[in-house]
């Protein structure tokens, strides 16, 4: 297992100035267990055209870990055995993974809602040629990471020129009907803070982004704002910049017990690029598999039983701070 983990996950953990997440749950009389599993999340690999500074998976152009054809077959077979309400395909940049088009085409009839997560600019890469049109044809919902409407914050996370390029892709998507009322083509945006602070009020951010992007002729459906998980490249930056301790303290101080009930890990099963099952995408980065040990998607007949404990680590504080990650 250790050979496939991102660098940040192999290093010795730095002491964190907060009680363990499990201890916090116990002190408050809370338990984090699975509810009804409704969503299949598939991480098709860490290959990406960007090197985002907040990436919990340390994805990038040099990462060789991508889902092989036989693993895709196993995922499709699992999605045929269990009809999920949602299938959520993520990465890296899934658009760049060989065989992604056929994979999406096979998944689309198996679920009422197929989601493709995109960093937007990957849709313009040669490897993704025509994928936008195919997604429109199959009614794939797009969830695009779009950190900020301001170049200084956006480019700080993603690299120079990202904002301008991603606006161009949003215009292309708008041209395809994405985000337009009545089109049935959903385009949601995901915003992460550009640093060691928490996101603000999601509804107000959505209103502000809609006004700003609307002036540029771009529409979208919903905006979701989530805290950065202290894992991978973001954790490395926290350590280097001296922000690790204050960030954990911030997450701990803003622990909101009301978030536990709706946490996405309660209703989702995540498959990593090599077919291993996890309770969420952050646990892939943390190397915490679902259940009692490493298990392949091909061995799973149904969904995990309700009441099964969820593997946790201190990165879970990122999902329970403030409004939480639901």
Q: Do 251 and 18 form a contact (C-beta atoms < 8 A)?
A: yes
Residue 200 contacts another protein per CB under 8 A = yes
Q: List C-alpha distances in Å: 252 to 23, 202, 309, 321.
A: 12, 20, 21, 7
Partners of 39 in the beta sheet? 86, 268
Q: How far is the CB of 248 from another protein (least distance, A)?
A: 15
Residue 1 contacts another protein per CB under 8 A = no
Residue 18 contacts another protein per CB under 8 A = no
**String marking each residue 264-303 x if it binds another protein according to CB under 8 A:** ----------------------------------------
Pairing of strands 268-271, 277-278: antiparallel
Report the residue number, 128 or 251, with the smaller CB distance to another protein. Answer: 251
Q: How far is the CB of 9 from another protein (least distance, A)?
A: 28
40 SS3 class: strand
Q: Do 108 and 154 form a contact (C-beta atoms < 8 A)?
A: no
Backbone CA torsion sign across 223, 228, 231, 237: positive
Residue 7 contacts another protein per CB under 8 A = no
Report the residue number, 71 or 148, with the smaller CB distance to another protein. Answer: 148
Residue 242 contacts another protein per CB under 8 A = no
Q: How far is the CB of 199 from another protein (least distance, A)?
A: 7
Report the residue number, 25 or 205, with the smaller CB distance to another protein. Answer: 205
Q: How far is the CB of 245 from another protein (least distance, A)?
A: 13
C-alpha dihedral (222, 110, 97, 147), degrees to nearest 10: 10
Residue 188: in which H helix or E strand, if any? strand 187-191
Residue 150 contacts another protein per CB under 8 A = yes
Residues that bind another protein (CB under 8 A): 148, 150, 152-153, 193-195, 197-201, 204-205, 208
């Amino acid at each position: 297992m250790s050979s496939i983990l991102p660098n940040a996950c192999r290093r010795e953990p730095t002491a964190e100035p907060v009680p363990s997440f499990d201890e916090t749950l116990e002190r408050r009389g809370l338990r984090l267990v699975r509810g009804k599993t409704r969503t299949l999340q598939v991480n098709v690999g860490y290959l990406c055209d960007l090197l985002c500074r907040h990436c919990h998976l340390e994805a990038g152009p040099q990462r060789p870990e991508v889902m092989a054809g036989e693993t895709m077959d196993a995922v499709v077979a699992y999605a045929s055995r269990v009809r999920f309400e949602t299938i959520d395909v993520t990465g890296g940049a899934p658009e760049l993974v060989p065989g992604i088009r056929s994979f999406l085409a096979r998944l689309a009839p198996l679920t009422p809602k197929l989601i493709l997560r995109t960093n937007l600019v990957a849709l313009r890469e040669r490897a993704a040629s025509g994928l936008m049109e195919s997604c429109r044809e199959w009614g794939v919902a797009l969830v695009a990471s779009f950190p900020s409407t301001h170049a200084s914050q956006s480019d700080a996370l993603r690299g120079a020129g990202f904002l301008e390029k991603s606006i161009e892709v949003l215009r292309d998507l708008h041209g395809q009907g994405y985000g337009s009322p009545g089109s049935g083509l959903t385009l949601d945006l995901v915003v992460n803070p550009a640093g060691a602070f928490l996101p603000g009020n999601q509804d107000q951010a959505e209103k502000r982004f809609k006004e700003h992007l609307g002036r540029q002729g771009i529409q979208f459906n919903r905006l979701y704002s989530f805290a950065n998980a202290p894992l991978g490249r973001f954790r490395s930056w926290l350590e280097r910049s001296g922000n690790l301790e204050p960030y954990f303290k911030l997450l701990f101080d803003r622990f909101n017990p009301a978030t536990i009930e709706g946490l996405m890990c309660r209703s989702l099963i995540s498959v990593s690029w090599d077919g291993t099952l996890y309770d969420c995408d952050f646990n892939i980065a943390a190397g915490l598999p679902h259940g009692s040990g490493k298990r392949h998607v091909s061995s799973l007949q149904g969904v995990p039983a309700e009441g099964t404990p969820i593997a946790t680590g201190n990165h879970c504080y990122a999902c329970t701070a403030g409004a939480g990650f639901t």
